Amino acid sequence: MAQAPSSQRSAHPLPAYNFRVTVDGVAMRFSKVSGLQREHKVLTYRHGLSFLEGERVAKHTIDAYISITLEQGVVIGSTALHSWLERKRPCAMEVSLCDEQGVPVVAWSIAKALPVKLGAPTFDAATNAVGIESLEVKVAGVSMKHLG
Q: Where do runs of H (alpha helix) occur along the chain? A: 5-11, 50-53, 80-86
Residues of the chain by 3-state class (helix, strand, coil), percent to 5: 10, 45, 40
What is the widest separation between alpha-carbon atoms in the chain?
67
Give the fold, CATH level 3, of 12-146. Pnp Oxidase; Chain A (2.30.110)
pLDDT for res 106: 93
pLDDT for res 92: 95
- Of the candidates 89, 83, 90, 74, the one whose C-alpha atom is nearest the C-alpha of residue 29 is 74
Q: Tell me the pLDDT of the chain averaged across its residues.
A: 84
Inter-residue contact 139 to 110 (CB < 8 Å)? yes
pLDDT for res 80: 81
Ranges of the chain with pLDDT below 70: 1-3, 5-9, 43-51, 54-62, 148
pLDDT for res 137: 95
pLDDT for res 50: 64
Inter-residue contact 100 to 148 (CB < 8 Å)? no
Q: CA dist 42 to 50, 54, 57, 64, 108, Å?
A: 17, 16, 7, 12, 22
